[in-house]
Chain A
Amino acid sequence: MKKFLSAPFIVFLLAGTLIPMAVIAYYGLTDRTGAFTIENIMAIGTGDHAKALGLSLLLSFAATVICLILAFPLGLILKDSKLGKKGFMVFIFILPMWMNFVLRTMAWQVLLEKNGPLGFLGIINTPTAVVLGMVYDYLPFMVLPIYNTLIKIDNSLIEAAYDLGASKSTVLRKVIIPLTVPGIVSGVTMVFVPSLTTFAISNMLGGGKVNLIGNIIEQEFTTASNWNLGSGLSLIMMIFIVISMAFIEKYDKSGEGAMI
């Protein structure tokens, strides 16, 4: 009976994950004639690709840091606020997450346009706009796991630290932050990985002038029709994802990140 019930899941797993991954691995490790090659993977080292990967890493790093700086204090405020208010604040932050993220990004595009309400900033089609888009789109993924770990910290631990003579900053450094590490790791991963692989945000807010590794891969599959190179580069991205998963696994034993 149990086997029967899990059949849809197994079909989904096969059709949606395992088979596509195998196809990507096949394309990535062969050339157009079907002969084995590692050229598609080594292609990451060539000028444009390496530059795009570098820029992707830089921008997603920036977006992750900004999200962390915004989310942690917010989590602290939420932890101390009253229950009803707490739920409302979390709701406000999660609200945008329920809207299609292309729509959200498009809204920023309209806002930041030359003639848009925020056009005077002059950041449309620059890396800054892309980072802004990443922060806006992925902030909830940072807020939720950090908030979840923060509210689980027993207040008596914090009181005990004060009781033993700790100042506010010591309590933060020695007690609160160490205990929030699982949430931070989850949040960082969940912002960093999608930022690293995005192409929609850079398309819409970068106006084709900000080329991230995601854009390169997209172009290989569409305009360039070079599925082999696209797959090869995708495999490289897969490595980053696997490393991130390993990180979560190591630090987030209680599964805070899995809450979303």
Chain B
Amino acid sequence: MAKEKTLIEMIDISKSYDGEIVLDEFNLNIKENEFITLLGPSGCGKTTTLRILGGFTMPDTGRVLFQGEDITHMPANKRPLNTVFQKYALFPHMNIADNIAFGLKISGKSQEYINDKIKYALKLVNLSGYENRAVTSLSGGQQQRIAIARAIVNEPRVLLLDEPLGALDLKLRQEMQYELRRLKDELGITFLYVTHDQEEALTMSDKVVVMNQGYIQQMGTPEQIYNEPENAFVADFIGDSNIIDAIMVEDYVVKINGYKFPCVDAGFGKNKPVDVVIRPEDIIIGKPGKGVIDGVVTSNVFIGVHYEMCIEAGGIEWLCQNTRSFAVGSEVSINVDPENIQIMNKPQSEDEEAISLEDVLGEEKDQ
């Protein structure tokens, strides 16, 4: 994947609405043939990023390069990319075939070519034979698939998807995730996907970009994002996790509330305060005295695949998941394998989480 060419570069993009900064010197490279997902809570700047790429919003500063060519001020109708909108945005006064043909007619393709393309696209999204149906006669999931068909018949180099599954119910959403991934592999084009749903992001993407408050918090493969979150925000946003104050005593040893745990991280220095992330499923529950800390089960809920339990141990409430149930009140011990302890530097403060050390030093120099 890393060998593939960079298709889009966003360089130092800033954008604010009514004085509120949405993106601040944002940089992102998108490689060819990549499924990249922008993931973050609402207001994190992910949709603005997509709209800047689509040409619907102009950045205040910064440049957008497409294959090295500056397209920052190119209008949306000239860009070699197409968008699938959150609310489908199918033209209600046209039937399905006319909706799909919209872009092809504008580019002056022959009727024969258009008909072939419509057939091909409908087959691709599993809606063959829907040519003459009215938009309103389709369900949400079907409309979304038509919206995808309408975008891909134009053979864009990049498909931008703005929370396309947001309005669908859970079952359909899961189905569509596989569909989208299959489409991506079949078409061999770049997908840029925007969502606030971490499961969607992890399921489909080659690369996930976690965003918050206009900054990239972490970028990496789904596995990296999940297993090695770089800061508390990412750890908290992606899946459930225990984020605990701790002290890095020395290389490979971290102290949580006075209890020493062996870990695999090094290079933090001696007696340095850090954040520790432990996924609930990584906590090993055993008989009292067999683990690092003894504790008591304070709650236990069955949530399908496993039981979700809270264990009070060593002055900390641990969120644990296990396929074995431990009754509330029973005495247990907990332990964690060294490789499942993820150590992170403490952020300067909640808001400055994403500001790099450089920025802080720069500001100090100015004063």
Contact = CB atoms under 8 A, between A and B. Distances in A.
Interface stretch (B100-108, B176-184, B201-209, B351-359): B100-108
B91 A157 contact: yes
Contacts of B150: 160, 164
Interface stretch (A33-41, A133-141, A167-175, A201-209): A167-175
Q: Which A-B residue pairs are the 3 nearest by beta carbons?
A: A164-B103, A160-B89, A156-B89
A164 B75 contact: no
A178 interface: yes
Interface of A: 154, 156-157, 159-167, 170, 174-175, 178-179
Interface string B80-121: 001101110111110000000011001100000000000000
Contact of B102 (A156, A164, A179): A164
Nearest to A156: B89
B76 A178 contact: no
A175 to B, nearest CB: 6
A167 B83 contact: no
B87 A156 contact: yes
Contact of B87 (A154, A161, A163): A154
Contacts, number: 62
A35 to B, nearest CB: 53
Given A156-B87, A157-B91, A179-B93, A163 B106 contact: no
Nearest to A161: B102
A179 B135 CA distance: 14
A160 B82 CA distance: 9
Contact of B77 (A165, A174, A178, A179): A165
A166 B151 CA distance: 13
Contacts of A160: 83, 85, 89-91, 150
B323 to A, nearest CB: 45
B302 interface: no
Contact of B154 (A162, A165, A174, A175): A165
Contacts of B54: 159, 163
12 contacts: A156-B86, A157-B89, A160-B83, A160-B91, A161-B91, A162-B75, A163-B151, A164-B77, A164-B150, A165-B77, A166-B77, A178-B93
A159 B87 contact: no
Interface string B58-92: 00000000000000000111100011011101111
Contacts of B106: 164-167, 170
A9 B107 CA distance: 58
Count chain A CB atoms within 10 A of each CB in B77, B85, B86 and give the residue with the most: B77
